[in-house]
Amino acid sequence: MAMTKKRYHRRGAKALTYTALLGPFALLFALFQLAPVLWVVINSFIYDGELTLDNYRAIWDSAFTLQSFYNSLWLSLISSLIGLIIALLLVNSLRRVDCRLRRMVISFINMSSNFSGVPLAFAFIIILGVNGSITLLLRSIGLVEEFDLYSKWGLLAIYTYFQIPLAVLLLYPAFDALKDEWQEAAQLLGASMLQYVRKVALPVLTPAIIGTFVILIANAMGAYASVYALTSGNYNVITIRIAALVSGDIFLEPNLAAAISVLLMLIMAVIVMINYTLLNRSRYAKKQ
Protein backbone atom coordinates (compact mmCIF):
# COMPACT_ATOMS: atom_id res chain seq x y z
CA MET A 1 0.00 0.00 0.00
CA ALA A 2 2.66 2.47 1.13
CA MET A 3 4.82 1.44 -1.82
CA THR A 4 2.16 2.17 -4.41
CA LYS A 5 1.36 5.46 -2.77
CA LYS A 6 5.01 6.44 -2.97
CA ARG A 7 5.15 5.38 -6.59
CA TYR A 8 2.08 7.43 -7.34
CA HIS A 9 3.66 10.34 -5.58
CA ARG A 10 6.84 9.96 -7.58
CA ARG A 11 4.94 9.68 -10.81
CA GLY A 12 3.07 12.85 -9.90
CA ALA A 13 6.33 14.67 -9.20
CA LYS A 14 7.74 13.51 -12.51
CA ALA A 15 4.69 14.72 -14.39
CA LEU A 16 5.00 18.04 -12.59
CA THR A 17 8.67 18.40 -13.60
CA TYR A 18 7.84 17.59 -17.22
CA THR A 19 5.05 20.14 -17.24
CA ALA A 20 7.27 22.79 -15.68
CA LEU A 21 10.03 22.19 -18.21
CA LEU A 22 7.92 21.69 -21.34
CA GLY A 23 5.14 24.09 -20.34
CA PRO A 24 6.68 27.46 -21.27
CA PHE A 25 7.58 26.22 -24.73
CA ALA A 26 4.18 24.64 -25.29
CA LEU A 27 2.42 27.81 -24.18
CA LEU A 28 4.45 30.19 -26.34
CA PHE A 29 4.29 27.88 -29.35
CA ALA A 30 0.51 27.56 -28.98
CA LEU A 31 -0.02 31.30 -28.57
CA PHE A 32 2.20 32.58 -31.34
CA GLN A 33 2.42 29.77 -33.88
CA LEU A 34 -0.67 27.58 -33.60
CA ALA A 35 -3.28 30.12 -32.53
CA PRO A 36 -2.70 32.52 -35.47
CA VAL A 37 -2.99 29.66 -37.99
CA LEU A 38 -6.12 28.39 -36.27
CA TRP A 39 -7.62 31.88 -36.31
CA VAL A 40 -6.91 32.13 -40.02
CA VAL A 41 -8.48 28.77 -40.84
CA ILE A 42 -11.62 29.35 -38.73
CA ASN A 43 -12.21 32.94 -39.78
CA SER A 44 -11.80 32.15 -43.44
CA PHE A 45 -15.24 30.49 -43.13
CA ILE A 46 -16.85 33.39 -41.30
CA TYR A 47 -18.43 36.42 -42.94
CA ASP A 48 -20.48 38.95 -40.92
CA GLY A 49 -20.54 36.56 -37.98
CA GLU A 50 -22.00 33.71 -40.01
CA LEU A 51 -20.54 30.41 -41.07
CA THR A 52 -20.29 30.62 -44.86
CA LEU A 53 -18.13 30.14 -47.94
CA ASP A 54 -18.61 33.77 -49.01
CA ASN A 55 -14.94 34.64 -48.55
CA TYR A 56 -13.90 31.91 -50.94
CA ARG A 57 -16.59 32.94 -53.37
CA ALA A 58 -15.28 36.50 -53.19
CA ILE A 59 -11.84 35.25 -54.23
CA TRP A 60 -13.31 33.35 -57.16
CA ASP A 61 -15.33 36.38 -58.27
CA SER A 62 -12.48 38.87 -58.07
CA ALA A 63 -10.31 38.90 -61.17
CA PHE A 64 -7.81 41.01 -59.25
CA THR A 65 -7.31 38.36 -56.53
CA LEU A 66 -7.13 35.57 -59.09
CA GLN A 67 -4.46 37.55 -60.90
CA SER A 68 -2.38 37.62 -57.71
CA PHE A 69 -2.51 33.80 -57.60
CA TYR A 70 -1.50 33.59 -61.22
CA ASN A 71 1.38 36.05 -60.73
CA SER A 72 2.66 34.27 -57.62
CA LEU A 73 2.53 30.85 -59.26
CA TRP A 74 4.19 32.12 -62.43
CA LEU A 75 7.02 33.84 -60.54
CA SER A 76 7.53 30.87 -58.19
CA LEU A 77 7.59 28.18 -60.85
CA ILE A 78 9.84 29.98 -63.34
CA SER A 79 12.25 31.38 -60.75
CA SER A 80 12.52 27.96 -59.06
CA LEU A 81 13.22 26.30 -62.38
CA ILE A 82 15.89 28.80 -63.48
CA GLY A 83 17.42 28.88 -59.99
CA LEU A 84 17.55 25.09 -59.93
CA ILE A 85 19.25 24.84 -63.34
CA ILE A 86 21.86 27.47 -62.47
CA ALA A 87 22.50 25.79 -59.11
CA LEU A 88 22.90 22.37 -60.79
CA LEU A 89 25.44 23.83 -63.23
CA LEU A 90 27.35 25.52 -60.41
CA VAL A 91 27.39 22.53 -58.06
CA ASN A 92 28.40 20.17 -60.86
CA SER A 93 31.33 22.42 -61.79
CA LEU A 94 32.28 22.96 -58.16
CA ARG A 95 32.84 19.24 -57.70
CA ARG A 96 35.38 19.24 -60.52
CA VAL A 97 37.65 22.04 -59.33
CA ASP A 98 40.20 22.21 -56.53
CA CYS A 99 39.19 22.27 -52.91
CA ARG A 100 40.24 25.86 -52.14
CA LEU A 101 38.18 27.46 -54.88
CA ARG A 102 35.24 25.24 -53.93
CA ARG A 103 35.37 26.24 -50.29
CA MET A 104 35.62 29.92 -51.16
CA VAL A 105 32.63 29.79 -53.49
CA ILE A 106 30.53 27.84 -50.99
CA SER A 107 31.21 30.28 -48.18
CA PHE A 108 30.39 33.17 -50.50
CA ILE A 109 27.12 31.49 -51.50
CA ASN A 110 26.37 30.83 -47.85
CA MET A 111 26.76 34.53 -47.14
CA SER A 112 24.76 35.70 -50.12
CA SER A 113 21.85 33.52 -48.96
CA ASN A 114 21.28 36.30 -46.42
CA PHE A 115 21.18 38.91 -49.14
CA SER A 116 17.44 39.09 -49.75
CA GLY A 117 14.41 41.21 -49.01
CA VAL A 118 14.66 44.99 -48.75
CA PRO A 119 18.46 45.36 -49.12
CA LEU A 120 18.43 43.13 -52.21
CA ALA A 121 15.62 45.12 -53.79
CA PHE A 122 17.65 48.32 -53.36
CA ALA A 123 20.75 46.74 -54.85
CA PHE A 124 18.65 45.72 -57.85
CA ILE A 125 17.28 49.23 -58.23
CA ILE A 126 20.87 50.52 -58.34
CA ILE A 127 22.04 48.16 -61.07
CA LEU A 128 18.86 47.44 -63.03
CA GLY A 129 16.73 50.52 -62.38
CA VAL A 130 15.97 53.11 -65.05
CA ASN A 131 19.46 54.62 -64.79
CA GLY A 132 21.13 51.52 -63.32
CA SER A 133 24.63 50.74 -64.54
CA ILE A 134 23.73 47.36 -66.01
CA THR A 135 20.67 48.80 -67.74
CA LEU A 136 22.90 51.50 -69.26
CA LEU A 137 25.52 48.94 -70.22
CA LEU A 138 22.97 46.69 -71.90
CA ARG A 139 21.43 49.67 -73.66
CA SER A 140 24.80 50.90 -74.93
CA ILE A 141 25.60 47.45 -76.33
CA GLY A 142 22.16 47.44 -77.84
CA LEU A 143 21.00 44.22 -76.18
CA VAL A 144 17.83 45.70 -74.74
CA GLU A 145 15.81 48.77 -75.55
CA GLU A 146 14.11 49.22 -72.21
CA PHE A 147 14.30 47.03 -69.15
CA ASP A 148 11.51 47.61 -66.64
CA LEU A 149 12.68 46.38 -63.25
CA TYR A 150 9.23 46.97 -61.79
CA SER A 151 7.55 44.57 -64.22
CA LYS A 152 7.28 40.81 -63.99
CA TRP A 153 10.66 40.33 -65.70
CA GLY A 154 12.38 42.50 -63.11
CA LEU A 155 10.69 40.55 -60.33
CA LEU A 156 11.67 37.30 -62.00
CA ALA A 157 15.31 38.48 -61.95
CA ILE A 158 15.21 39.29 -58.24
CA TYR A 159 13.36 36.07 -57.35
CA THR A 160 15.87 34.00 -59.30
CA TYR A 161 18.70 35.83 -57.56
CA PHE A 162 17.52 34.85 -54.10
CA GLN A 163 16.69 31.29 -55.17
CA ILE A 164 20.20 30.46 -56.41
CA PRO A 165 22.04 30.43 -53.03
CA LEU A 166 19.27 28.38 -51.41
CA ALA A 167 19.30 25.85 -54.26
CA VAL A 168 23.10 25.56 -54.18
CA LEU A 169 23.20 24.99 -50.42
CA LEU A 170 20.48 22.33 -50.65
CA LEU A 171 21.92 20.52 -53.68
CA TYR A 172 25.59 20.61 -52.74
CA PRO A 173 25.49 17.76 -50.19
CA ALA A 174 23.39 15.60 -52.53
CA PHE A 175 26.15 15.47 -55.14
CA ASP A 176 28.25 13.50 -52.65
CA ALA A 177 26.17 10.47 -53.62
CA LEU A 178 27.60 10.58 -57.16
CA LYS A 179 30.83 8.58 -57.33
CA ASP A 180 33.46 9.60 -59.89
CA GLU A 181 34.08 5.92 -60.68
CA TRP A 182 30.57 5.57 -62.04
CA GLN A 183 31.26 8.06 -64.78
CA GLU A 184 34.49 6.24 -65.69
CA ALA A 185 32.69 2.90 -65.61
CA ALA A 186 29.95 4.24 -67.86
CA GLN A 187 32.54 5.64 -70.26
CA LEU A 188 34.40 2.31 -70.36
CA LEU A 189 31.15 0.57 -71.23
CA GLY A 190 30.77 2.96 -74.13
CA ALA A 191 28.19 5.39 -72.76
CA SER A 192 28.23 8.96 -73.98
CA MET A 193 28.22 11.87 -71.55
CA LEU A 194 24.53 12.47 -72.24
CA GLN A 195 23.70 8.81 -71.62
CA TYR A 196 25.63 8.88 -68.34
CA VAL A 197 23.72 11.97 -67.20
CA ARG A 198 20.35 10.52 -68.22
CA LYS A 199 20.78 6.97 -67.00
CA VAL A 200 23.04 7.34 -63.95
CA ALA A 201 23.44 10.85 -62.59
CA LEU A 202 19.86 12.12 -62.87
CA PRO A 203 18.15 9.08 -61.28
CA VAL A 204 20.52 9.26 -58.31
CA LEU A 205 19.97 12.98 -57.90
CA THR A 206 16.22 13.00 -58.56
CA PRO A 207 15.06 12.93 -54.91
CA ALA A 208 17.34 15.83 -54.00
CA ILE A 209 16.32 17.80 -57.09
CA ILE A 210 12.60 17.37 -56.41
CA GLY A 211 13.02 18.18 -52.73
CA THR A 212 14.99 21.31 -53.54
CA PHE A 213 12.45 22.39 -56.14
CA VAL A 214 9.62 22.15 -53.61
CA ILE A 215 11.49 24.21 -51.03
CA LEU A 216 12.29 26.82 -53.70
CA ILE A 217 8.64 27.10 -54.70
CA ALA A 218 7.53 27.46 -51.08
CA ASN A 219 10.24 30.06 -50.57
CA ALA A 220 9.07 32.07 -53.58
CA MET A 221 5.35 31.76 -52.81
CA GLY A 222 5.91 33.15 -49.32
CA ALA A 223 8.27 35.93 -50.43
CA TYR A 224 7.04 39.39 -49.48
CA ALA A 225 9.81 41.81 -48.56
CA SER A 226 11.56 41.99 -51.95
CA VAL A 227 8.36 42.61 -53.93
CA TYR A 228 7.08 45.07 -51.37
CA ALA A 229 10.34 47.03 -51.32
CA LEU A 230 10.77 46.97 -55.10
CA THR A 231 7.27 48.03 -56.07
CA SER A 232 6.06 49.68 -52.81
CA GLY A 233 3.39 46.99 -52.68
CA ASN A 234 2.01 47.76 -56.13
CA TYR A 235 2.72 44.46 -57.84
CA ASN A 236 -0.07 41.98 -57.42
CA VAL A 237 1.15 38.77 -55.75
CA ILE A 238 -0.60 36.69 -53.08
CA THR A 239 1.48 37.85 -50.11
CA ILE A 240 1.07 41.53 -51.05
CA ARG A 241 -2.69 40.99 -51.42
CA ILE A 242 -2.96 39.36 -47.98
CA ALA A 243 -0.91 42.07 -46.27
CA ALA A 244 -2.89 44.83 -47.96
CA LEU A 245 -6.15 43.33 -46.66
CA VAL A 246 -4.98 43.36 -43.04
CA SER A 247 -2.74 46.40 -42.81
CA GLY A 248 -3.52 48.58 -45.81
CA ASP A 249 -4.82 52.15 -45.63
CA ILE A 250 -8.11 51.76 -47.47
CA PHE A 251 -10.38 48.97 -46.33
CA LEU A 252 -9.46 46.05 -44.15
CA GLU A 253 -10.96 42.63 -44.69
CA PRO A 254 -9.13 40.25 -42.40
CA ASN A 255 -11.53 37.38 -43.12
CA LEU A 256 -10.96 37.63 -46.86
CA ALA A 257 -7.21 37.74 -46.12
CA ALA A 258 -7.70 34.57 -44.05
CA ALA A 259 -9.40 32.80 -46.97
CA ILE A 260 -6.57 33.77 -49.35
CA SER A 261 -4.06 32.57 -46.72
CA VAL A 262 -5.80 29.21 -46.47
CA LEU A 263 -5.64 28.81 -50.26
CA LEU A 264 -1.95 29.73 -50.21
CA MET A 265 -1.26 27.07 -47.57
CA LEU A 266 -3.34 24.57 -49.56
CA ILE A 267 -1.29 25.20 -52.70
CA MET A 268 1.88 24.63 -50.69
CA ALA A 269 0.44 21.43 -49.21
CA VAL A 270 -0.46 20.14 -52.68
CA ILE A 271 3.08 20.87 -53.89
CA VAL A 272 4.53 18.97 -50.93
CA MET A 273 2.19 16.03 -51.65
CA ILE A 274 3.26 15.93 -55.28
CA ASN A 275 6.82 15.92 -54.01
CA TYR A 276 6.13 12.88 -51.82
CA THR A 277 4.49 10.87 -54.58
CA LEU A 278 7.30 11.68 -57.01
CA LEU A 279 9.87 10.75 -54.36
CA ASN A 280 8.24 7.41 -53.71
CA ARG A 281 8.04 6.70 -57.40
CA SER A 282 11.72 7.47 -57.91
CA ARG A 283 12.67 5.16 -55.05
CA TYR A 284 10.53 2.47 -56.60
CA ALA A 285 12.27 3.02 -59.90
CA LYS A 286 15.63 2.66 -58.21
CA LYS A 287 14.62 -0.64 -56.64
CA GLN A 288 13.71 -2.04 -60.01
Partner 1 sequence: MQKSNNLICHRIIIGIIVLIMVLPLVATLLYSLSTRWGATILPDGLTLHWYIDLLSDPRFLWSFARSILVCAAGLALCIVVMIPVIFIVFYSLPGLKKVFNFIVVLPFAVPPVVSSVGLLQLYSDGFLPISGTFWILIFTYFTIVIPFVYRSMANSFAAVSLHDLMDAARLLGASTPQAFFKCVLPNLKKGILSAVFISFSILIGEFVFANILVGTRFETLQIYLYNTRQVSGHFTSALVIFYFAFIFLLTFIASRLGNHK
Binding flag, residue 107, partner 1 (CB under 8 A): yes
CB of 228 to partner 1, least distance (A): 7
Binding flag, residue 266, partner 1 (CB under 8 A): no
Binding flag, residue 261, partner 1 (CB under 8 A): yes
Contact code string over 75-104 relative to partner 1, x by CB under 8 A = -----------x--xx-xxx-xx---x---
Binders of partner 1 in range 193-232 (CB under 8 A) = 218, 221-222, 224-225, 228-229
Binding flag, residue 116, partner 1 (CB under 8 A): yes
Binding flag, residue 275, partner 1 (CB under 8 A): no
Binding flag, residue 131, partner 1 (CB under 8 A): yes
The span from the CA of 284 to the CA of 288, in Å, is 6
Q: How would you classify residue 286: left for phi > 0, otherwise alpha for psi between -120 and 50, otherwise beta?
A: alpha
DSSP state of 113: T
Three-class secondary structure of residue 223 per DSSP: coil
Q: Which stretch binds partner 1 (CB under 8 A): 50-58, 197-205, 263-271, 280-288?
A: 263-271
Nearer to partner 1 among residue 7 and residue 286 (C-beta): 7
Binding flag, residue 276, partner 1 (CB under 8 A): no
Nearer to partner 1 among residue 23 and residue 286 (C-beta): 23
Compute φ and ψ for 50, nearest 5 degrees. Answer: -120, 150
Helices 152-171/202-221 angle, 10° precision: 130
Helices 133-141/117-128 angle, 10° precision: 30
The span from the CA of 200 to the CA of 227, in Å, is 39
Which of 122, 153, 182, 276 contacts partner 1 by CB under 8 A? 122
| 104 membership: H or E segment, kind and range | helix 99-112
Nearer to partner 1 among residue 1 and residue 99 (C-beta): 99
Binders of partner 1 in range 14-73 (CB under 8 A) = 18, 21-22, 24-25, 28-29, 31-33, 35-40, 43
If we measure between CA atoms, which residue out of 174, 173, 170, 163 comes closest to residue 113? 163
* 236 half-sphere exposure, CB direction, 13 A CA radius: 10
CB of 88 to partner 1, least distance (A): 11
